[in-house]
Structure 1
């Protein structure tokens, strides 16, 4: 597994001596100066941990496969560390920021550090859980195609699920999340890390742990480790929206009582014991299996069997 770590950036040091042009990305000095000027103190409530290492930012952008002209959505840009890495690549970036001070300042930061990129940034001030497809669409009605973000630790899974549902055309992504959360998202059926987020994420595509992230690249230094989680969209969707909703309802019910056999756990959705067992058997699923043993395809099979039995 790759280690996405960072050391003090040479370009940041040069920018401070005056011997070289101002850097195009934010380093530790620039991040702290900007935060002080705005009166911003990172808060746990908003899950704010700002990236302070330009080398790591560029590694993340490269790992995400972002190229010039790509339409990228970023959640929680904060002071703009990752945003500047994305705009530096030539991508068109739509950034969603809940903090009004940060949302207002971000365009100015990009214009100052990368004047040629100012027209390739849009900032939407809102909670990422409330953002709509209409807000995300550009002037031509096109939605973002790549997600790259340092997701707030406290709401990373809900935000991720909201965006995947909202933007079916999202073809790939790379998100930085708390290590424990990242391994749950990317987990395969059968392991203790596999849960509801794993099954639901798998509906949309293939997930993998793309690298570890050192705590030292953040300010303030978080008390947990982080990982990068990569995503590639399925070439062929598993099912339509009605089937997705039905499969997710089964996932929720199964993992709400994950210690119980499916013939018991799924009764709130499928009905009395005999009917539940009959549907599971029709779907080719062992009624004595438990939630973590089924991949999303099996939950979809159960949903289709239930619809056929209705």
Structure 2
């Protein structure tokens, strides 16, 4: 890890020199506490051969902590002024700065391929960024991100929790996630009016033999109407409540259950049942299709 980490005075002086003021539009809250930087780098579980991907490096606080801890760092910064200034703050040959929107980057943009995502994410796009990067970068083996505490709670929530929802299930499709601690507002400039949370995750093999898009369509439908039973909530997606019930039974799930009670594996089972039963077909409890016959 770099020895010279940025403190509050250095952050403000650097921002003034660059003529940079944090903007709410870009979700900019600059981290300025060296101890928090060390804590994030240590908690990320990095190995010397890793290639770290940092989104929203800002003025370079976390970037300075990452260089030296890994083989290479890719820093994706949407603000052109900050992207241009970052190599001056972090003069390291193993740093590549990308002036880009993290929601639009692709695997081909990175050489060497990233293996770990370690970032203080802009709060306004944190969940879409994480899901996009996991979808686009198969080389990632895991990571640790700092997000708004409320979002962190949702990302790591399990079935039955009051905050379990779409982000929880979609992250679980890609990885096993866990809470890795809380970060107070005082370590940022400007000081946000919320606590932050660290979320660590480890990539895993997605459940079932079904496409991600098919599973996510079921998830979106199930949580669009949280208080309804799955028989009702999935009616629009399935082509009617009766077919939704058939698919649920075939997947081994009660039609009276609600989406917030299901694991990602169960959502995958519903999507798999739909694959073998096109609208108009009958389903056996094992999920095999039977042709409709006249009674």
Q: Do both proteins adopt the same fold according to a TM-score greater than 0.5, normalized to the shorter chain?
A: yes
Kindly indicate which of the two structures has a greater share of residues assigned to helix: 1
**Which residue does the alignment assign to 1:145?**
115
Matched, 1:126 2:107: no
For normalisation by structure 2, the TM-score amounts to 0.91
Q: CA RMSD in A?
A: 1.3
Q: Displacement of 1:23 after TM fit?
A: 5.3
Cα distance change, pair 28–88 in 1 and its aligned pair in 2 (3 A): farther
Matched, 1:163 2:143: no
Q: Secondary structure at the match of 1:88?
A: coil
Matched, 1:238 2:218: no
Counting matched residue pairs gives 277
- Checking the alignment, whether the CA contact within 8 Å between 2:55 and 2:102 is kept in structure 1 is yes
**Which residue does the alignment assign to 1:286?**
254
Distance across 2 between alignment mates of 1:169 and 1:269: 32
RCO greater where, 1 or 2, for CA within 8 Å and sep 6 or more? 1
- Checking the alignment, whether the CA contact within 8 Å between 1:66 and 1:91 is kept in structure 2 is no
Map of 1:8-87 to 2, 5 A cutoff? 24-87=4-67
Distance across 1 between alignment mates of 2:66 and 2:153: 25
Q: Displacement of 1:169 after TM fit?
A: 2.9
Distance across 1 between alignment mates of 2:160 and 2:13: 48
| Equivalent of residue 145 in structure 2, options 175, 190, 211 | 175
Gaps of 5+ in 1: 1-21, 112-117
Q: Displacement of 1:119 after TM fit?
A: 1.1
Distance across 1 between alignment mates of 2:203 and 2:70: 23
Distance across 1 between alignment mates of 2:158 and 2:139: 23
Q: Displacement of 1:239 after TM fit?
A: 4.1
Deviating beyond 2 angstroms after TM superposition, the runs of 4 or more aligned structure 1 residues are none
**Which residue does the alignment assign to 2:245?**
277
Distance across 2 between alignment mates of 1:227 and 1:216: 13
Q: Displacement of 1:201 after TM fit?
A: 0.5
For normalisation by structure 1, the TM-score amounts to 0.87
